[in-house]
Amino acid sequence: MKPKVAIGIGLATVLWVGFVLPAGCPTTPTPTPGGTGNSGVTGQFVGADTCALCHKNVHDNWAKTLHAGALDSLENIDEGTNPDCLLCHALGFGLDGGYVDRATTNALAGIQCESCHGPGRAHVENVADQSLRPPVSISADICAQCHNPFHHALYGEWKKSAHARVTPTVAEELVAGQVASSCGLCHSGDVRQAVLVEDQTVPDNFLEGKSTSQLNAVVCVTCHDPHQRTNKAFLPPTGHDFQLRYAEVVPFPTASNSIAANTNPDRFNLCGQCHHARDRTWQATTRGPHPSVQSNFYVGEMPVPDGTAALLPNQRTVHAFVPRQCVTCHMPREEESGEASAVHANHRFTVEGYAGCVATGCHPSAASAEADKRQLQRAIQHGLDDIAARLGPVSEWQYSSEGGPPEDEQAALPDEIKQVRFLYAYIESDSSLGVHNPEYARAILARAGELLTSIGR
């Protein structure tokens, strides 16, 4: 097997720049059964079994992952000695002290702790010296060492997505020592890792002093647990798990209009951990709904001020019946075939080719799915344009931060105008122009029209 694109980066390149290794560190080889051995494990790599002496729980969880059996997967297709493949399927292949073969370096088979954290011998021989501890980084560049550009070209796709970048305005606030405890939880991979994985208390100035180029956005480990199988994927292909941190699919939530429910990520799937509403309602005057209401729009719900009536009835979407929720359309799975096979899911997160729409049986072809989408979006955009025209000049009705009346004049706006602009902005904030919940989008436009009629607009 020869890869379509040669992998020109060794496993060490990204992580180990500047990592100083001691000269010659002999160790007593540990033989293993079955004609394999470790007589060559005398260099900078020590192997996962050595790490397990202190990190047993992490090791035992890792041992159940596909990474641990990466070399086995090669041998199963008779490619266990292919140097192009061994670059990623064995620890440190091609590097001094790295994997050579089963007979001499079996302890370095597979993708191990040191594949991501760097050589461990210096640390093992002086565990008290914190400066010698292998580095820990959540950078997606680590995963890119193997998951790009051959048949696992996930990094390249992710790099083109909005997930790869911290929103510029938020990035500037983060490095200025602001918003880490609020905006940072979803916009910053660094903050999310600290709070939800490492159980740290993060102050607003958590990232103060860093440059924006040093910030991690929504990186691989934000969604995937690199250390263990989690059983949170929905009907994964045989042998796969995807190691998701949150459930790929959850029972369809019961719609609610309470702020507490709409802002509660526990109700939603993996994508909904961030793509859910914040606490803004139609009474807000500075800015409209946060542009992350996709899960709520999909459910057909909208937050309203506590103790007030809903602006319109909740509406379940026809897309509630797609089997894998968000990823059905945004990350359709493909089986890559050939001598080397893999399961691929689109990590650009864009709807491309409409394969998911056809796979569900809802649309007879990709062409019909695309035509339905375009027709719906044109209708919703036409409805939005009509509402904006009836509202009049932006300076008379929009939020204060978006060109509307200044904050001290916002209170004078009729409630009906505030409600209409929230409905208008709610559709815009969903970003799908109605696709996530066509029935709800149409109902929102109809309700906005009724409110405008009631005040003679």
> What is the reported pLDDT for 141?
96
pLDDT, tens digit, 9 for 90 and up, residues 333-391: 877 665 566 788 999 999 988 888 888 888 999 999 999 999 999 999 999 999 999 99
Residue in 106, 73, 104, 107 with CA at minimum distance from that of residue 88: 73
Residues 131, 184, single domain; the answer is no
Specify burial of residue 84 (Cβ count, 10 A radius: 0-12, 13-18, 19+).
Answer: middle
DSSP assignment string, 227-284: T-----SSSPPTT--TTBSS-S--PPPPP---HHHHT-GGGS-TGGGTSS--S--TT-
In this prediction, residues 9-17 reach a mean pLDDT of 34
Q: What is the pLDDT of residue 234?
A: 96
The whole-chain average pLDDT of the chain stands at 91
Domain boundary among 113, 135, 157: 135
Q: How far is CA 347 from CA 148, 159, 233, 332, 429, in A?
A: 12, 9, 15, 10, 22
Query: CB within 8 A of 147, min separation 6: which ones?
Result: 153, 154, 155, 220
Same domain? For 80 and 177 the reply is no
Q: Spell out the alpha helix ranges (H) of 276-340.
A: 294-299, 326-330
pLDDT at 343: 80
Same domain, 423 and 300: yes
Band of pLDDT at residue 6, cut at 50, 70 and 90? very low
In this prediction, residue 419 has a pLDDT band, given cuts at 50, 70 and 90, of very high
- 8 Å CB contact between 151 and 5: no
Interval 298-347: pLDDT, tens: 999 999 999 999 999 999 999 999 999 999 999 988 776 655 667 889 99
157 part of a folded domain: no
* pLDDT of res. 30: 42
pLDDT score recorded for residue 12: 34
Least confident of 2-11, 69-78, 85-94, 104-113: 2-11
In a domain, 147, yes or no: no
Given a cut of 50, whether residue 288 has pLDDT beyond it is yes
Reported as a single tens digit per residue, the pLDDT across 235-282 is: 998 889 999 999 999 999 999 999 999 999 999 999 999 999 999 999
Residues 170 and 130 in one domain: no
Q: Is 248 a member of any domain?
A: no
Amino acid at 399: Y
The pLDDT of 208-217, averaged and rounded, is 97
Instruction: Say yes or no: 284 and 380 in one domain.
Output: yes
Contact assessment for residue 323 and residue 341, using Cβ atoms and an 8 Å cutoff: no
Asked if 211 and 104 sit in the same domain, the reply is: no
51 occurs within a structural domain: yes
Q: For residue 293, which amino acid is it?
A: V
Least trusted range by pLDDT, from 137-151, 217-231, 349-363: 349-363
Is the model's pLDDT at 400 over the cut of 90?
yes
User: Is 4 inside any structural domain?
Assistant: yes
Quick one: pLDDT at residue 7?
31
Same domain, yes or no: 309 and 436? yes
Q: Helix or strand or coil: residue 34?
A: coil
pLDDT of residue 336: 67
Do 130 and 170 belong to one domain? no
Strand, coil or helix: 385: helix
32-84 pLDDT, tens digit each: 434 589 999 999 999 999 999 999 999 999 999 999 999 999 999 999 999 99
Could you tell me if 74 and 206 lie in one domain? Answer: no
Amino acid 194: pLDDT: 97
Domain assignment present for residue 208? The answer is yes
- What's the pLDDT at 340? 60
Please check whether residue 144 lies inside any domain of the structure.
no
The pTM score is: 0.89
Residues 17 and 74 in one domain: yes
Whether residue 181 is found in the same domain as residue 117? no
In the chain, the number of structural domains is 3
Give the lowest-confidence range in 31-35, 154-158, 434-438, 441-445. Answer: 31-35
Domain enclosing residue 282, as ranges: 259-320+366-454
- 131 with 170, same domain: the answer is no
Residue 14 has pLDDT above 70, yes or no: no
Determine the pLDDT at residue 109.
Answer: 98
Query: Per-residue pLDDT for 208 more than 50?
Result: yes
